[in-house]
C-alpha cells in the first residue's frame, strides 16, 4: 500500500515539473556519484541549461563509500545516486534506501539476457558498462609483450609485474571485473586464475582511476578496467587501446533516487533527461565514451563505436547473476584483499620462482618434480572458502565492509585472522616446495655437466 501511495505522490509531483522557469537557482539537486568529473560535469552543465531553476551539487564518492553514505549518514541530504555497479544498487534496494520510481519499466528491455532497468522499478539503467583490458601500445612494444586477448592470457609469466588493477573493496567497477571472472570460470577455477593474475600485478591501486592513470603514463602496461576508461583514453591518445575479452559482462550503469530525498521531482527530471535522446547522445562524445542504454541510439554512434546489442559483442557477453553477486559482495571483496591486495609482493616472489621451475621443467622432463610443482601451484591458488559455503546466505551475510571506527562482526574478524594465517602459510609452503624443486633441478643439471 505504501508503494502505491509513493507512486501516486511521485506522479503528481512529476506532472508539476516544467521547463518554464520562474526563478533562478531556487532548488538544489544533491547527487552522489562515483563517476569522474569529466563525465558528470557535462550532464550537469546541459541539465542546468535546460532547468536553470535547479542547481546541481555533486558529492563524488567511490561506489563502496557511496553505499555507506546512503545507508549510514541519514542526516546528510541526498537526492540521486548515480554509479555503474548494479549490485551496489541491489544492496541499497535490499536495505530499503531507494524510492520506487513511478514510471513502469519494460521488462523485455535487455542487453543479452540482463534487464536494462530494475524490474521492480527502484533504479534505471542509463548506460551499459562492459569490462575488459586496456593497454599501452608503446609500453608493450618496449617490453616485447604481446597484446592479451582474454582473461586467461593475463596469467602468462611474460606479464609478471606488468599488470594493474584496483582493489574491488574500493571500486565498484573492479568488483564487477572480479565477479565476472568468478562467474565465467566458476568459484574454484576463478580464484585460481585471480591468484595467478595476482602474481603478475605491478600494483593494486586505491581507486580505479589509478589503473587508468598507470597505463596512460606507462607505470605498467596493462590494466583491467571498465570500458569507458579504456575508450576515453583511446579517443584521447592513439597509444592506448582497449578490448573486450570473451566471457565478459555487459551490465547497465544505473541511477536512482534516495528514499530520503527532499527533492525527488528534480531528481526525476534529471533521470528523464539522461534517458532522453539528447541525454543519450551525450554518451557518444569522445570525452565520455559510454554505451547508451537505448538500442535505437546506435544509429548515431561514431564509426567503430562498440554496440553491446550487436552480434559480435553479444557473443562475448556472460549471463551475469546479479543476485549471486549481491549476496557475496563483501565476502568477495574481503577475500581479494586478504589473498591478493595485501600480498602482492609475496605473490610476485613466489610466482617468479614457480615460473623459473616451469621453464626448467620444460627443458628437463621430470615427472616427480612436475607433480611437486603442481602441488606448489595448488597451494598458492587455494582459498579458504568452499563453493558450498559461498552459496550459503547465512555464511555470506556475516561479512561487512571495512570502515574506519566501526567494529566488524566478531565472526568476520576471527575468519579474517584465520584466512590471513592460511594465506601466509600457503605462500610459505609453496615457496619451500618450489625451492626444493629448483635445488633438485640445479643439482641434476650440475651432475649432467660433470
Domains and CATH numbers, the chain: 2-129+249-316 (3.40.190.10), 161-221+324-449 (no CATH)
Q: What is the mean pLDDT of the chain?
A: 89
For residue range 109-156, list pLDDT tens digits in order: 899 889 999 999 999 999 999 999 999 999 999 999 999 999 999 999
- What is the arithmetic mean of pLDDT over 420-445? 91
8 A C-beta contact, residue 438 and residue 361: no
Q: Where are the alpha helices (DSSP H) in 160-221?
A: 172-185, 187-198, 208-216
Which residues make beta-bridge pairs with 406? 403
- What is the arithmetic mean of pLDDT over 237-257? 95
| CA atoms of 308 and 295, how far apart (whole Å) | 9
User: Exposure of 152 by Cβ count < 10 A (0-12 exposed, 13-18 middle, 19+ buried)?
Assistant: middle
Q: Up-side HSE of residue 372: CA atoms within 13 Å toward CB?
A: 19
pTM to 2 decimals? 0.86
pLDDT category of residue 25 using cuts at 50, 70 and 90:
low
| CA atoms of 27 and 358, how far apart (whole Å) | 65
Three-class SS state of 278: helix
**Cα distances (Å, whole numbers) of residue 23 to 26, 56, 57, 305:** 6, 15, 18, 41
For residue range 1-23, list pLDDT tens digits in order: 444 444 444 444 443 333 333 34
| CA atoms of 398 and 395, how far apart (whole Å) | 6
CA 224 to chain centre: 9
Q: Which of 48, 41, 59 is nearest to 24 (CA)?
A: 48
Whole-number pLDDT of residue 316: 94
8 A C-beta contact, residue 344 and residue 204: yes
Between 7 and 307, the more confident residue is 307
For residue range 177-220, list pLDDT tens digits in order: 999 999 999 999 999 999 999 999 999 998 888 999 999 999 99
| CA atoms of 143 and 138, how far apart (whole Å) | 9
Whole-number pLDDT of residue 401: 83
Whole-number pLDDT of residue 398: 93
8 A C-beta contact, residue 165 and residue 223: yes
Query: Cβ neighbours of residue 263 under 8 Å, at least 6 residues apart?
Result: 27, 28, 29, 30, 79
Angle at 28 between CA 23 and CA 30, to 5 degrees: 160
pLDDT category of residue 395 using cuts at 50, 70 and 90:
very high
Q: Residue for cell digits 558498462?
A: 129
Whole-number pLDDT of residue 11: 41
pLDDT category of residue 60 using cuts at 50, 70 and 90:
confident
The proportion of the chain whose per-residue pLDDT surpasses 90, expressed as a percent, equals 70
Whole-number pLDDT of residue 445: 58
For residue range 77-114, list pLDDT tens digits in order: 899 999 888 888 988 998 898 999 987 777 778 998 89
For residue 413, give the DSSP letter.
Answer: H
For residue range 250-300, list pLDDT tens digits in order: 999 999 998 888 889 999 999 999 999 999 999 999 999 999 999 999 999
Residue 423: its H or E element: helix 410-449
Between 324 and 36, the more confident residue is 324
Whole-number pLDDT of residue 4: 43
For residue 205, give the DSSP letter.
Answer: E
Between 66 and 349, the more confident residue is 349
Residue 324: is its pLDDT beyond 60?
A: yes
Amino acid at each position: 500500500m505504501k508503494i502505491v501511495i509513493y507512486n501516486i505522490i511521485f506522479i503528481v509531483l512529476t506532472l508539476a515539473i516544467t521547463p518554464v522557469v520562474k526563478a533562478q537557482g531556487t532548488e538544489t539537486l544533491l547527487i552522489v556519484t562515483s563517476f569522474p568529473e569529466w563525465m558528470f560535469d557535462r550532464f550537469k552543465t546541459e541539465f542546468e541549461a535546460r532547468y536553470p531553476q535547479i542547481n546541481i551539487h555533486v558529492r563524488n564518492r567511490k561506489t563502496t563509500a557511496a553505499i555507506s553514505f546512503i545507508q549510514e549518514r541519514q542526516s546528510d541530504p541526498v537526492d540521486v545516486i548515480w554509479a555503474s555497479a548494479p549490485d551496489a544498487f541491489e544492496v541499497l534496494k535490499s536495505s530499503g534506501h531507494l524510492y520506487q520510481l513511478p514510471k513502469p519499466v519494460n521488462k523485455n528491455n535487455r542487453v543479452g539476457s540482463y534487464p536494462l532497468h530494475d524490474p521492480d522499478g527502484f533504479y534505471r539503467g542509463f548506460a551499459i558498462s562492459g569490462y575488459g583490458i586496456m593497454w599501452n601500445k608503446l609500453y608493450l612494444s618496449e617490453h616485447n609483450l604481446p597484446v592479451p586477448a582474454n582473461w586467461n592470457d593475463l596469467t602468462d609469466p611474460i606479464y609478471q609485474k606488468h599488470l594493474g588493477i584496483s582493489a574491488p573493496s574500493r571500486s565498484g567497477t573492479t568488483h564487477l571485473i572480479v565477479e565476472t571472472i568468478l562467474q565465467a570460470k566458476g568459484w574454484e577455477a576463478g580464484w585460481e586464475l585471480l591468484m595467478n593474475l595476482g602474481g603478475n600485478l605491478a600494483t593494486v591501486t586505491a581507486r580505479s582511476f589509478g589503473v587508468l592513470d598507470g597505463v596512460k603514463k606507462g607505470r605498467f602496461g596493462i590494466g583491467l578496467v571498465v570500458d569507458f576508461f579504456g575508450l576515453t583514453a583511446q579517443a584521447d591518445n592513439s597509444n592506448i587501446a582497449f578490448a573486450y575479452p570473451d566471457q565478459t559482462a555487459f551490465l547497465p550503469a544505473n541511477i536512482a533516487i534516495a528514499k530520503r530525498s527532499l527533492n525527488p521531482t528534480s531528481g526525476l527530471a534529471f533521470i528523464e533527461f539522461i534517458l532522453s535522446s539528447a541525454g543519450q547522445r551525450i554518451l557518444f562524445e569522445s570525452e565520455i565514451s559510454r554505451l547508451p542504454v537505448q538500442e535505437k541510439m546506435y544509429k548515431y554512434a561514431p564509426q567503430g563505436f562498440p554496440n553491446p546489442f550487436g552480434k559480435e559483442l553479444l557473443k562475448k557477453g556472460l549471463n551475469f547473476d546479479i543476485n549471486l553477486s549481491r549476496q557475496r559482495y563483501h565476502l568477495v571483496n574481503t577475500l581479494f584483499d586478504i589473498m591478493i591486495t595485501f600480498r602482492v609482493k609475496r605473490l610476485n616472489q613466489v610466482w617468479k620462482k614457480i615460473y623459473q621451475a616451469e621453464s626448467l621443467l620444460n627443458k628437463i622432463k621430470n615427472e616427480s618434480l612436475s607433480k611437486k610443482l603442481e602441488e606448489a601451484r595448488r597451494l598458492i591458488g587455494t582459498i579458504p572458502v568452499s563453493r558450498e559455503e559461498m552459496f550459503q546466505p547465512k555464511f555470506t551475510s556475516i561479512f561487512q565492509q571495512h570502515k574506519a571506527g566501526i567494529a566488524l562482526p566478531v565472526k568476520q574478524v576471527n575468519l579474517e585472522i584465520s584466512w590471513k594465517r592460511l594465506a601466509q602459510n600457503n605462500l610459505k609452503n609453496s615457496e619451500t616446495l618450489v625451492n626444493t624443486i629448483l635445488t633438485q633441478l640445479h643439482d641434476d643439471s650440475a651432475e649432467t655437466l660433470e
